[in-house]
Structure 1
């Protein structure tokens, strides 16, 4: 590969003149030996060396002229040597020499054509904006296009002959040995790599590898095409950060709407702690202290204190800003915790709750806080939507279940209300950012909910219920707990 690529490089003019001079001197020497030597040998066959010597140095027309000149010199030498003594042996030697020169010239012209085609292909690679380089199976660079020079800052002369991974300080997404085995197995590979430019700045590229094999199927070279995606990755990271910030703002806004429920939820266990504490004092204040009842009252105080602590912990989790976690989550438990924060809203809006939880307690792999945020958003929207219908019809149905879908176990969460629903024409717009059916709505809750569920490789959808109302469905992959 390296030798072929060396051929496609354009030779400088001084070198070409020098090579022509050497070829001329060689032809003169051969002519002198063929004409003056008494040896009965086909000395003129050596003119083929002159043709081969100039194959990669001159153009097609010049090479034809060189071949014709060598044939002419052969015939001239034959005429000088045998003008008065023609015999069959000398004629055959002349014919063999002319045939050898002619065949060599034709083969050289064919080689020139192939070389010219390879040069044109190499020139096309230089037109590419992407970095393209070829490396052997030992990772040694044998070709380096202009796109690679622009991207990495290494000129071709300094890059060729060096190991690609060492030159570019490549950071692989997985083991290099595993990637190499994948390339040998499939003949190609694609993925993101981190490189370092000559000036030390990092660059992220989308890399595509293509393997070249010899006639026996053995790997001989790999062509690597790299596209700079550094700015795109920075934009994606910025977008993810913005989405995380927006989700945090939405959680805080949701907590603001649930302030009354929060106070109610905390006040209940705190009031129970006070009541049990007073009862404990009364049992201990008797002439004969009732230690059993006092112990029971203290145990009740501990349970209610822990309940209040759990409520505070859930609220802090919803309010904090942090990276999403991927841990097993019991959907039934997460749903129950979310509903505790909605008790006050259910009471204020006079909405009945119809709860149907899967008895198997399905688990999913995800971020508990984010999933609870989705449940609270969907349930709160459903509760508020039912203000427009008579109190007797207000009912929030919440159901969890599992099912088989395309050979995979899926967890389904359904939140259904009995409100007025929406215009069927507006149904596809519900999850769009800044679209809201409420006059004071921001239009971000459903959009963020969809982003969270899709980040968990799930789906969220909305359908109209016959007779009035909406049904929001969340589908996630079930996580099987490893058996101990």
Structure 2
């Protein structure tokens, strides 16, 4: 059992010198009472106490010697007291005492063997660099390895007997009741925890819990093995930060390439405002002003002004470097917001556009600006890939739908073109950083798109189209509500 292991491992030698003295004095007292008292009882049976005390500090050979001495003292006392009178009751008392000493010695020897085996196993645990400790069901630390001392800074003497979660100020990734429930149900649990060292510094660990049960199947204790992953987590966070900054640079670069389209998109509503303003003045300048038509012109001016404001707001959001924001997003709205940005590029290349939005699509949980960047990258790549295709054969298709082939019903965004496609050798490399099939390409657009989609828990894939060209498919997980906000049926929820 874990508890007995802890007793063995944490045995303090500070009082061991006292044990032999007590055992010797007790043996002398038993011999004197057994030899010189007139008590008609098996006093020598008390030598088993001497054997039990000696088992705590003697090795196998020493314990056998002490047991032999106790048997010898029993025989000597019998000879002194009954030298001339060997009555049957005295002989039986002597034999019972010798049998008790022998049985106790054998049991102590067996316990020493088990103890040495257990100590050897515990020594193996101390060879690992991981922090290992054992705690009972009340979370009290029973065993504390050398690795735990090195990682947390708490000596074994200070850690044993204290609640583990309180000692380490553990930050759990989920409610503790849920974690304990999984541990008791499956006998195992693993996940990332944040602990606090003795000096107050934080450490992130990959923790693995194993449950020990008694012979009736009841939870008895848990062994926790913790591996320090602090540096790895810091590296991952730094990588994510660098990736976010690179995505921001790519967005700004893309906007620079789309300057003409942006100017065109903003100029349209502004021109409409001017046109409607002139019409309004004409209606008001009549001999009999037409107030109804003038009001309609003003309303159109307001609508076009708001449209221009919306365009500018979308462009500012696309250029702004914000932290990723997880919020409900309608993918059809994302596509509608991106289409005006590629209008100029599409018209310049003579590319026909076919948009097929799915109906009542579930909203997805993600960052709206980042998803806009993915759709923008895919659409621009498709338009530019068709530059060498004869006029009249350039078609860009963007469709959204639910993937009914999966239990979770992922939301799919499909971007299809009629370009020359990609050869089989280049296809597996499309999403690699700095790999591009265009002569002047940076090779970052698709790589960043994949990073964004994977960060949203989805996936992105490329495949040759059925009628030529390429098909890019983005799959985003469905959190369980449709675009109108209504809850999906229970079987459709994740």
TM-score (normalizing by structure 2): 0.93
Partner residue of 1:437?
Answer: 437
> How far 1:446 moved relative to its partner?
0.4
Q: Quick check: 104-113 or 164-173, which moved more?
A: 164-173
Match of residue 124 from structure 1: 124
Paired residue secondary structure (2:38): coil
Match of 2:246, SS state, is helix
Q: Which whole-Å CA distance do the structure 2 matches of 1:31 and 1:174 have between them?
A: 64
Q: Is the 8 A contact 1:9 1:119 kept in 2?
A: no
Is 1:370 the equivalent of 2:373? no
Partner Cα distance (1:116, 1:289) in 2: 108
For the structure 1 residues 447 and 289, does the alpha-carbon distance in structure 2 shift closer, same or farther, using more than 3 Å as the test?
same
**Is residue 7 from structure 1 mapped to residue 8 from structure 2 by the alignment?**
yes
Partner of 1:328: 328
| Equivalent residue number for residue 483 of structure 1 | 486
1:87 aligns with 2:87: yes
Deviation at 1:361, TM superposition (A): 4.8
* 3-state SS, counterpart of residue 40 of structure 2: coil
Task: Provide the residue aligned with 1:407 in structure 2.
Answer: 407
- Note the residue ranges of structure 2 that are not aligned, 5 or more in a row: 488-494
Correspondence 1:192-203 to 2 at 5 A: 192-203=192-203
Query: How far, CA to CA, are the matches of 2:91 and 2:5 in structure 1?
Result: 39
| 1:330-373 CA distance string (max 9 Å, x none) | 22222122111111001111111122222445532222221111
Q: 1:178 to 1:399 in 2, by over 3 A?
A: closer
User: Partners in 2 of 1:384 and 1:85 — Cα distance?
Assistant: 119
Deviation sequence 1:36-75 (CA, Å, 0-9, x none): 2233322211111110111111111100111111112222
State the Cα distance separating 1:313 from its structure 2 match.
0.9
Task: Confirm whether residue 383 of structure 1 aligns to residue 383 of structure 2.
Answer: yes
Q: Which residue of 1 aligns with 2:52?
A: 52
Moved over 6 A (4+): none
- Greater mean alpha carbon deviation, residues 292-301 or residues 82-91: 82-91
* 1:106-142 deviations in Å (ceiling 9; x for gaps): 0011111122122222222222211222223222222
User: CA–CA distance in 2 between the matches of 1:203 and 1:363?
Assistant: 37
Task: Give the Cα separation in 2 of the matches to 1:383 and 1:299.
Answer: 36
Matched residue SS, 1:267: helix
Aligned partners of 1:34, 1:347: CA distance in 2, in Å? 115
Residue 409 to residue 15, structure 1, CA distance change in 2 (3 Å): closer
400-409 or 313-322: bigger deviation: 400-409
Change (3 A) 1:477 1:138: closer
**1:153–1:362 Cα change, 3 Å:** closer
Distance 2:364 2:165 in 1: 40
Q: Secondary structure at the match of 1:387?
A: coil
Query: What aligned pairs does 1:387-466 form with structure 2 within 5 A after superposition?
Result: 387-466=387-466
Q: Note the 1:354-369 alignment, pairs <5 A.
A: 354-369=354-369
Contact residue 171 and residue 193 of structure 1 kept, 8 A: yes
Query: How many angstroms apart in 1 are the aligned matches of 2:79 and 2:319?
Result: 105
CA distance in structure 2 between the aligned counterparts of 1:245 and 1:144, rounded to whole angstroms: 43
User: Cα distance, 1:307 vs. partner?
Assistant: 0.9
Counterpart of 1:344?
344
Cα distance, 1:323 vs. partner? Answer: 2.0
Alignment CA distance shift 1:100-1:263 (3 Å) = same
Partner SS, residue 323 of structure 2: coil
Aligned 8 A contact 2:273 2:300 in 1 = yes
1:341/1:121 CA distance change after superposition, 3 Å? same
Quick one: structure 1 residues 465 and 172, their matched pair in 2 at CA, closer, same or farther if it must change by over 3 Å?
A: closer
Q: Distance in 2 between matches of 1:201 and 1:361?
A: 47
For the 8 Å contact 1:419–1:470, the answer to whether it is kept is yes
Residue 150 of structure 1 aligns with which residue?
150
In the alignment of these two chains, the number of paired residues is: 483
Shift of the 178–458 alpha-carbon distance from structure 1 to 2, 3 Å rule, reads closer
The 8 Å contact of residues 132 and 145 in structure 1, kept in 2 or not, is answered as yes
- Displacement, 1:100? 0.6
Contact 1:8/1:118 (<8 A) preserved: no
Q: CA RMSD in A?
A: 1.9
Give the C-alpha shift of residue 169 in structure 1: 1.9
State the Cα distance separating 1:9 from its structure 2 match.
Answer: 4.0
Secondary structure of 1:438's match? coil
Decide whether the 8 Å contact of 2:361 with 2:411 is kept in 1: no
- 1:222 is paired with a residue whose SS is strand
| Mean Cα deviation higher: 293-302 or 218-227 | 218-227
Partners in 2 of 1:78 and 1:439 — Cα distance?
A: 108
305-314 or 330-339, which deviates more: 330-339
Secondary structure (helix, strand or coil) at the match of 2:365 reads strand
The offset of 1:4, in angstroms, is: 5.0
Query: Residues 193-245 of structure 1, C-alpha deviation per residue, up to 9 Å, x if partnerless?
Result: 22211111111222222233333433332222222211111111111111111
Per the alignment, residue 471 of structure 1 pairs with 471
**Cα separation, 1, equivalents of 2:425 and 2:177:** 54
> Structure 1 pair 292/8, CA: closer, same or farther in 2 (3 Å)?
closer
Relative to the length of structure 1, the TM-score reads 0.95
In structure 1, the partner of 2:38 is 38
Q: Which residue of 2 aligns with 1:75?
A: 75
Alignment CA distance shift 1:359-1:171 (3 Å): closer
Equivalent residues in 2 for 1:105-254, closer than 5 Å:
105-254=105-254
How many Å separate the matches in 2 of 1:344 and 1:21?
99
Distance 1:64 1:321, change over 3 A: same
